Every structure is written in C-alpha cells, then in structure tokens.
Amino acid sequence: MIYLDNAATTLPDADSLEKASVYLKEKFFNPSAMYREGFELHKEIDAAKKHLLSFITPSSDYDLIFTSSGTEADNQALFNGIKRGNLVVNEGEHAAVYMTAKELKKRGHDVRFAKLLSDGRVDVEHLLSLIDQDTSLVSVMHVNNETGAVNDIEDIADSVKKLAPKAVFHSDGVQAFGKIVYRLSPKIDLYTISAHKIGGVRGVAGLIKRKDFHIDPYIFGGGQENGLRSGTENTFAIKQFEFAAEKRFRTLEADFLKIQEFNRYMREQLNPALFSFVSSKSASPYILCAAIRGIRAEVLLHILNDKGLLIGTGSACSSRNRYSRVILACEIKKELAEGIIRLSFSAHTTKEEIDQAVQILNESVSQLAERMK
C-alpha cells in the first residue's frame, strides 16, 4: 500500500509509541492524584509542554494547553477571542475555524470572511479592508490543509495589529507544526498544533497562547490544565506527541528538502494533458493539490484504492460535500472542482512510493479519460 493522504493523518511513529508505552503499562496513574506517582506524572506533563514549546518558540512568554484535537483548540481560540466587536476569518480556513465562525455569526456576532487568492492564500488586501478598531479577533491559518498555501502570518499579524492594536491574532498551525521552519513571535497570540499530523496518535493537540493573554475554559470539570481544559490528561498521548515531535524537529530541514524534491518530481512526471495544479510552487511541499478535468475525484479515489494507492480529495473533515468550499473560494470552476485530488506526504514517504504513485495515477486517469470519451 502507498499512503499519500498524510494531511488527513499520519502513521504513528513506532519509536515514539514504544518509548511512550511505559505510560500505559507502568506509569498509568492519574496525574491529578495526590500521591507521589500522580504528582510525578503531573511534572512530566509540564515538562512535555516546555519541550513542545521549545520547538517553535525560544521565549518563555507562551503556555500550552493540551486539548483532545486541533478542532477543540480552534474552537477554544475563537470562542475566547470574540468578546466584543467583530471577528475576521478567511474563506479557506479549516472547518474547525470556519464552522465555528459560522456558529458565532448565527449567535449574533459580526463575522467577516476574507477572500482567497487562486492558490488558497488569503487575500491580505481584502482581509485588512475588513478590519477596524472594533475587530476583536482575526484568525488566519498558517498552511492551508487543501492546497498547501502558506500564509505569511507574521506579516499579516503585524498589519492587523497596526489597524486594530487590541485585536487577538490566532493561527491554525496544524499543517505547519513539525513540517516547515517557523518560530513564533509575540505578534501571534494563539496558535493551534496537533499530534497526529506528525507521527503522534489521535486524541491530543494543543493551543499555544501568550502568557499575558487571558483565556477562559472551554470544557469544565476537574480543573486540569490550570483550570483551562478539564478532563483527566491522556499522559500516554501527550508524551508520545512530545517524542514524535522531537524526532520530527530533529530532521525538520532535511525532511523539508526531501519532500520538496518529491513534490517537484511529481509535478514534472504527472501527465500535463491530464493534470493541472492548484498548489503553487511556493506552497508547503507536503501538500500537492491537483485538478483533473471531466473526472470525478471520488470515482478516481476508489479506483486508486483498488490499486493500492491511498490519496485524498480535499479535507477529510469535509469529505461529504461534492465540491470543496475552499477550492470554489479559489475561483476554480465547478467542472474542475469536481476533479480535485490532494496528494500529501510525510517524512516516511519514499522515492519508490512516489515513482509507483506517478505510474498508477497516469495510467488510471488516462484509462478513465478514454472511457469518458
């Protein structure tokens, strides 16, 4: 099997699983327990937070709140950020941000949606035109999960705060963390990360926040995570996240260059008469979004599945929709939007898999095109 849907989820890293297994077999205690074993686990969770933060910020100005998913972290960011005035997001946001913004609009908040450029980046000029002194929160994803488009969140955040100094700036960094070189600066107030996109297990993610930014709990109960996210911590998943991230960041730049070469190679080898690319060459190399005219991506996906190639057709969180709202927001016409595929790579992807995938894709799409004549 060749797996090229890593933007949806990645294979949990075997070394990290083995290293963290002690938290299932031996150190299984409740971190909130008052006896020594529980207290020691609580300290290990705090150490994991500091370690994860060190990969993305040299500063001690940030905290990390562990959540159950990137979706929960995004929800906590938006529901906390919109306390007054208006909220500005863009049409290309992951459903975790976009649908939360729609819900806030339903509840009576002034929510404004910025347009996209053709490759999936936010139209910064349009976004800034929506901001005023009453803007409470701006959320711009770092790397688009469907097209791989990279937004310059540092520059955007700087421009936003010049127009609205009190505005909170949030970025969904789920597709960026552990994949592209980046360091957080104080311009970014809230930043979402997730374990299962970089070899961690599903069930743990995090919301990074500036220490001086007040945030209210989103889930109530026993007061874990300094009262900001109740629920008994999943120590195994948290520590495995830490170990997987440590491994990814150790080879971050080398992996980036390797995946960049794979991306370039696929662009050159996929038949240009059959494939056109939505992802720009400046996008994250981990995601390659392509369009096939006259062929439904869902049909192709099942054919490829039978041949041992697993790919995506866009966001796994929006797979029930015939057309991706993100792709339509890029002003891709419906006849092409129906044939969108997403190839996404991981540090474990090999050149042999890329060669085989190119061959299967070219042959399968060519056969389908002939059948459609």
pLDDT tens sequence for the chain (373 residues): 999 999 999 999 999 999 999 999 999 998 988 899 888 999 999 999 999 999 999 888 999 999 999 999 999 999 988 878 899 999 999 999 999 999 999 999 999 999 999 999 999 999 999 999 999 999 999 999 999 999 999 999 999 999 999 999 999 999 999 999 999 999 999 999 999 999 999 999 999 999 988 888 888 888 888 878 888 899 999 999 999 999 999 999 999 999 999 999 999 999 999 999 999 999 999 999 999 988 899 999 999 999 999 999 865 555 556 788 999 999 888 888 899 999 999 999 999 999 999 999 999 999 988 776 6
Pick the CATH number of 14-249 from 3.40.50.300, 3.40.50.620, 3.40.640.10, 3.40.50.2020: 3.40.640.10
Residues in Cβ contact with 308 at an 8 Å cutoff, skipping those fewer than 6 apart: 1, 2, 360
- Domain residue extents for the chain: 2-8+251-371, 14-249
Sign of the alpha-carbon dihedral angle for 238, 239, 240, 241: positive
SS3 336: helix
CA angle 318, 319, 320 (to 5 degrees): 95
Is residue 15 within 8 Å of residue 248, measured between CB atoms?
no
pTM of model > 0.75: yes
Nearest to 7 by CA among 282, 285, 230, 327: 285
Could you say which architecture CATH assigns to the domain 2-8+251-371?
Alpha-Beta Complex (3.90)
